[in-house]
Structure 1
């Protein structure tokens, strides 16, 4: 008599494995491009087995976002109440770097979660920021301790926004030092050349194609990329839905074209504002901050949605970003010859992370004071 094959043993931590795989796929592909089938394959199970743990993609995404926040809360709870700021930031850095591949979920939680889940998650992150802000206030009694705490955490969280390869210990040390420098930076300190930068004027929509670009981004930012339809964009510019296809194959092409247009404006601004300056890093910083405030709606949409664009549309955007970072890298290594190429890139991205989180904290209210504060914190992230 032939024995029956032994039944496969279900791992006790299968739900945890699903969450880990889900967070990674969401981070790499974006919420809408990710599929439950792809996540299930990453765990080695069928989609049907995955649905026994999570009823739909939203439920899994919400769990991934909560796990991200819970890890940070738990890491800080393990640090004594009177611990030094360096110890708090070291704990946050260890967790963030260890789960770097899954950290992109945080960038999109506010866009995709419903109001109740967003409120729950906001409370968890507020605990993290509050704990760091208390230590910042205690050790560096300067203005804006909450802004500095948010910006320091943004420097650390930036590691989830790029794929630069660097050793774990090296990147932890680099990010912790950057965050400490941000926390100790006076946001009211003036940055050289911050008031002198110029941005090219936004193109006046003179063609139907440019009208479509100008109309689509506010819709994407307000309603969400997935919700906005080609018909809604067409209506905003006075076209019938089918008329849109004469200019763009679909809304993904519209987003990609808008991002490329903005990247070109940034390139022009950098070339102009670097001419004849004595402090190129200050000029670069002021330019990037001005660009971020000027194009906050587009950047918000791009940070959440570009990762999910088809490779052919995403490739030119990635190339434009790399060219921009190469300029930063050149000038940063001139100012800090102790840095190698990988370290310089990590610090540049840390500065970008500062701008994203500090800008959000300031609700992207575009004032000279806000631009100056964010620029000062960006320079702090470079640890000059």
Structure 2
């Protein structure tokens, strides 16, 4: 057979090139970026990492997005846009289970990148945050209509947001479990939260929590740590400068290095302090429990109390852990695993039908409830708020 003419070959070349370039490349980029931002945090992530995740060069990536912020802003929108679109397909007046099924399906589909919304969205501009919040408000309003229709109570969307927190928790951990079973667990947990009773802990389950007191800073090193946590919580670790920390404790920036090798070491110390306070609280709460049900309630009450009392410290530990170097992160990850193991053991004793992975999914669902319910209550620490959120967590766990 005669070879094709040069003109024929040149005419065919664009088609061959197009065949190697996916039409959904922008979507692939956003998906890869969401995973990188969720795993590494906004500031630690790089465009080169994102490009490598898609199998393209950084130069090719910049043809789609002019800079990292533009890519990040689109990532922050993806899950909320998907959730709103999914709910638009659910008929008005549909059962709550159908509404939450749509939410669960999209959230699980975006599991790898969904963490961007929970912690990293604070790095968005004020205008972009406002726009994203308006979308989420529309989503929450649609879910709340179904919640109030089936379980009417005037709780200012507390149960609705807690239920969404249970579902959204799947974006914050890596427990491997079959997708169908995962969706069933999250849906059932969210439905229990939405149907939970009036504010207050379940009858006979109120627990007095004896949390350890946060150490009083008696050394310059402790003063630096205490001053850094509110700054990290408000502005994000990457945005806080050594100068700001030094000013807060009346030092020069160079003087900080006599107490900490670098800013990262201050963050690691804050995360270790958070882990130690929680571990001590858990140990105290389990000393006099008489059975697995009481143990689960005690764990829930302790975690809620810890989250309300040490809100800034906890938010720093949760949001900034991914950005720590491996050597700093390893002991913190081990502490987290030990904490989860305690919950898992007691929950499986209370619910023997659960396997370890199912129990871990539900434990994280309980943590998700605390995050979203606490935010709704603006972390105002009152006995009533603690009891209400504890009851929601216990409902999420199905105990």
TM range (shorter): over 0.9
Paired residue for 1:52, among 63, 82, 85? 63
State yes or no: 1:357 paired with 2:369: no
Q: Which runs of 5+ in 1 are unaligned?
A: none
How far 1:228 moved relative to its partner?
0.6
TM-score, normalisation: structure 2: 0.93
Q: SS at 1:100's partner residue? A: coil
Distance 2:378 2:207 in 1: 21
Matched residue, 2:226: 214
How far 1:145 moved relative to its partner?
5.5
How far 1:85 moved relative to its partner?
0.5
Contact in 1 for aligned 2:207/2:297 (Cα 8 Å): no
TM-score, normalisation: structure 1: 0.96
Matched residue, 1:182: 193
State yes or no: 1:119 paired with 2:134: no
Distance 1:91 1:80 in 2: 11
Matched residue, 1:332: 347
Matched residue, 1:83: 94
CA RMSD across the alignment = 1.7
Q: Which runs of 5+ in 2 are unaligned?
A: none
Paired residue for 1:292, among 291, 296, 307? 307
Counterpart mapping for 1:141-220 below 5 A? 141-144=152-155, 146-191=157-202, 192=204, 194-220=206-232
- Give CA-to-partner distance per residue, 1:262-301, whole Å, 9 cap, x none: 2111111111111112311111111100000111112222
Counterpart mapping for 1:267-282 below 5 A? 267-278=279-290, 279-282=294-297
Contact in 1 for aligned 2:165/2:368 (Cα 8 Å): yes
> In terms of mean alpha carbon deviation, does 372-381 or 44-53 score higher?
44-53
Matched residue, 1:230: 242
State yes or no: 1:61 paired with 2:72: yes
- Give CA-to-partner distance per residue, 1:171-219, whole Å, 9 cap, x none: 1000000000000112513245545111011101011211111000111
Contact in 1 for aligned 2:296/2:347 (Cα 8 Å): yes
Matched residue, 1:242: 254
Matched residue, 1:132: 143
Matched residue, 2:47: 36
Distance 2:259 2:110 in 1: 41
Contact in 2 for aligned 1:350/1:381 (Cα 8 Å): yes
Distance 2:277 2:233 in 1: 20
Matched residue, 2:324: 309
* Structure of larger gyration radius: 2
